[in-house]
Amino acid sequence: MGLPTLHSLLVKCEIVSNSAQISYQKLLSNLSVNMLRKLFEEVFMSQLSQVLGEMSHKDSSSWSKKLVTVVLDDSVFRSWLSSQGCANDFEDCYGKFFSGQFGTCVYGFRVLSLGVSIDGLLYPLFFDFIKKNSSESYQKPVKVAQKLIRRWGDYRKRLAKEGCLLPKLHLSCDSGYSDSGLAESCAQNGLCYISVPKKSHDVEIEGKKVKLSEWIENTFIPAEKAHLVQQKLLPDDQKTAFTMRVSAYYCSKKQAVTLLFFRLNGSKKVSVIYSISKHIFAKTLRRHWFQRTYIEQFFKMLKHVLQIQEARTKDKKGFEFKLYRFAYVAWHAQKLVRWIRKKMKHFGRKGFITIQRTLASDPDILYLLQKQIMIKY
């Protein structure tokens, strides 16, 4: 919104007066959860709208070059309560969830996020909570995801009213969100669905019903071996990785799909992804699916770099406020890393922590960065 501080943002939104001096605690007491969510979502959407608005005036190839992809994923945030008595305030959302980070169940929140990745930079748009299984108001994660997809559809319509017409974009998610209902929601809201099937599931390929794991073993691997024999005869600069694009019928989803089989960076494991689009190219399918890694990196930024899990939380409202503040900082940290990499080739593809440590320990590098900043401003 072009405003320098949180206070100026609140004044602009007429939440506080210009003369008011407020603390975060006072802010929390004045804002409802819905107002808080709307405030930060407006900030994220305004940043994204500016970029998408500029792209809408360019030719269609720019969308492909920038790899504009909607991404969806969830993550568990371990959270400590300041007092156990506060658990009643948000008992539906707070509980024990399995955390991949810790390899066990931890107390905290499971948060689902939908964002847009543009040229490797994630714009977080919407967050929602996945409630505990024991909660009376529990909804399956795919149902919560459908709510976020509908909100994306509303945002898309809002852009259209402002003169920014979006092409049909791709949505990338993992196997936990492989669902025909979610795929249908995507189709209704201008998204082409990409996900990961379970290898134990049955598909029909050329009229034959087979498990994906069996098809990999009996068809993909022999074809891959033949491909590798042919590759040995070629110069290194002409060698290509082996992929197979196959039209199939996904039995459990009752959908016609396009399957893509490949190995990721020479991995021993064969990866499989699919799209409900019948005409999608193999390269397009793989490139857009890979953009999901940027939302995973965003969660890692929140947890490992900004250490969002270390501070205690009084209630769900306090955690949500902390989540949005940290998300905004993480978004700017991403932009900073990209800018430093672009201006200073010395850093290559190094991450935020490595860059931070280098700047703290090497005054010469810090001086060069400061010169670049002075040139920019």
Domain boundaries, the chain: 31-343, 344-377
91: helix, strand or coil = coil
| pLDDT tens digit sequence for 142-183 | 999 999 999 999 999 999 999 999 999 999 999 999 999 999
**Per-residue tens of pLDDT for the chain, all 377 residues:** 556 566 666 677 666 666 555 565 666 667 777 888 888 899 899 999 999 998 888 877 778 888 999 999 999 999 887 655 555 556 688 889 999 999 999 999 999 999 999 988 999 999 999 988 876 777 899 999 999 999 999 999 999 999 999 999 999 999 999 999 999 999 999 999 999 999 999 999 999 999 999 999 999 999 999 999 998 888 888 888 899 999 999 999 999 999 999 998 878 899 999 999 989 999 999 999 999 999 999 999 999 888 889 877 777 778 888 898 889 889 988 888 888 888 777 787 788 888 878 877 888 777 777 776 665 54
| pTM for the model | 0.86
> Which class does domain 31-343 fall in?
alpha beta
Which positions ≥6 away from 369 have C-beta within 8 Å? 340, 343, 344, 359
For the chain, give the number of residues: 377
Amino acid at 277: S
Which positions ≥6 away from 273 have C-beta within 8 Å? 194, 195, 196, 197, 259, 260, 285, 286, 289
| pLDDT tens digit sequence for 360-369 | 788 877 777 7
| pLDDT tens digit sequence for 23-64 | 656 666 677 778 888 888 998 999 999 999 988 888 777 788
Q: Of the candidates 59, 106, 119, which has an alpha carbon nearest to the alpha carbon of residue 79?
A: 106
